Structure 1
Amino acid sequence: MKLDVIKMDGSAAGSVELNDDLFGLEPRRDILFRVVRWQRNKAQAGTHKVKTRSEVSYSTKKIVRQKGSGGARHGSRKAPIFRKGGVYKGPTPRSHAHELTKKVRRLGLMHALSSKAQAGKLVVLEDLNVEAGKTSALAKQVANLGWKRALIIDGASINEDFAQAARNLETVDVLPSMGANVYDILKRDTLVLTKAGVEALEARLK
C-alpha cells in the first residue's frame, strides 16, 4: 500500500510504501473488542468498597430483650436488614484485569492500524518539526490540516519541541511508537504516523 507523505505545513514530501500485513488487513471487530476490553479492564481502579456489619459504626447494645417483646429476636443493629446496617456481600477492592495472549494483542494493534487506513483516516508525516515549542503555531497548522481529534505516533522518542507545543492542545495526543495501543488509536478520528513511527511499528509488529 502506497501513501502520500506530507509536512506539517501541508506540502507534499513524497510517498511511503506501507506493509500490507500491518495496514492492509480486513478489520475484525471481535478482535478489536477483545483488546479494548482487556485494556479498559486493566486500567480500572477496582477501589469500590462498602462497609460490612463488622465495619459500620453503631452501638453493640442488644436492641430488645430476647423474649416477650412480641417481635423477632435481634442481636445487633449492624445487621443488613436494618437502616445504616452493614451491606451483605457488597463490592470489595479487587483487580478487574484478565489475561490476553500476546498474539491477540499484537493482532489487535494490526487491525486497528488497518481500520484507520481502510477508512482513509491515516496520515503519514515526514517529521514533527515545529517552531520552538509554540502551541499557537501548532494549533494553526493542525486546524489547516483539518485534524479535529488526532493521535500522533512518532518513532522511539518524541520531538521535545513538538511535545511541548502539543501539551496544551486538547485535540492532539502524542505517543512514541512503543506506546501505540488499540484503544487510543480507535478513540481518535485521525491517526498520524511519522516516517520514523511507521518504521518503528513495522519493526515492532513483524
Structure 2
Amino acid sequence: MKADVTTLEAKKAGTVDLPEDVFGLEPRADLLHRMVTYQLARQQAGTHKTKGRSEVAGSTKKIVRQKGSGGARHGNKKAPQFRGGGKAFGPVVRSHAVNLPKKIRALALRHALSAKATAGELVILEDVNMTAPKTKTVKDAFGKLGLNSVLIIDGPELNENFALAARNIPHVDVLPAQGINVYDILRRDKLVLTKAALDSLEARFK
C-alpha cells in the first residue's frame, strides 16, 4: 500500500510503499487489549505492603483466659480485629506482570500499526531534523500538519534538537524506533513515522 510523505513544513515529499503484512491487517481488538493489559501490568511497581500479625510490634501474651470470661477466645493483641493489630490478607510486595508470548506481542504491534493506517491516523514524515531546539517552530509545524495528540517515532537515534523542542508540548511523545509500543500508539490520536523509522520497522519484522 502507498502512503504520501510530507515534510515538517507540510510539503509533499513523494510516496512510500508500506508493507501489507504490517500496515494492511484487519485490526483485532482482542490482541490489542491483551497487549495493553500486559504493558500496564508490567508498569506497576508492586511495592505496596502492610504488616501481618506476625510482623507488628506487640506482646504474644494471651490477653484473657481460654474459658470463663464470657468473651471470645483471643490469642493476643496482634490479631487483626484489634487496634494496632496486623492486617488480614493485606497487600504484599509482588510482581503484577502477566505472561504473553513473544509472537503475540509482535503480532499486536502489527495490528496497532494497521489500526492507525486503516483509520487514516498515520502520517509519514521525511525527517524531523532541526538545527536548533525551538519549541515554537515545532508547534507551528504541528499546526500546519494538524497534529495535536501525537506519537512521533524516529529512527534508531533521535534528533536531539527536535526531541528537546517537542518535550514541552502537551500530548506529544517522541520515541526512537526501538521504543515503539502498542500502548503509546493507541493512547495518541495520530502516529507519525519518519522514513528512518519505517526502515527500522521493516528490518525488525523481517
TM-score for the superposition, normalised by structure 1: 0.93
Looking at structure 2, the residues matched to 100 and 72 of structure 1 have their Cα atoms a distance apart, in angstroms, of 49
Q: Are the aligned partners of 1:131 and 1:137 in contact in 2 as well (CA < 8 Å)?
A: no
Task: Work out the percentage of aligned pairs sharing the same amino acid.
Answer: 60
Stretches of structure 2 that go unaligned for 5 or more consecutive residues are none
Q: By how many angstroms is 1:131 displaced?
A: 4.6
Measured in 2, the distance between the counterparts of 1:202 and 1:104 equals: 18
Shift of 1:130: 2.7
Root mean square deviation, CA, Å: 1.5
**Aligned twin of 2:195:** 195
Partner SS, residue 115 of structure 1: helix
Displacement of 1:187 in angstroms is 0.8
Question: Is 1:109–2:109 an aligned residue pair?
Answer: yes
Counterpart for residue 129 of structure 2: 129
Report deviation, 1:203.
Answer: 1.0
CA distance in 2, matches of 1:97, 1:74: 39
Partner secondary structure for residue 96 of structure 1: coil
Distance 1:67 1:105 in 2: 61
Gaps of 5+ in 1: none
3-state SS, counterpart of residue 69 of structure 1: coil
CA contact (8 A) 2:154 2:177 kept: yes
Write the distance in 2 (CA, Å) between the matches of 1:184 and 1:97. 18
Query: Deviation digits for residues 97-126 of structure 1, max 9, x if unmatched?
Result: 122211111101100000000000000000
1:1-206 maps to which residues of 2 (within 5 A)? 1-206=1-206
Partners of 2:72 and 2:118 in 1: CA distance: 69
Q: From the superposition, tell whether residues 101 and 66 of structure 1 become closer, same or farther in structure 2 (CA, over 3 Å).
A: closer
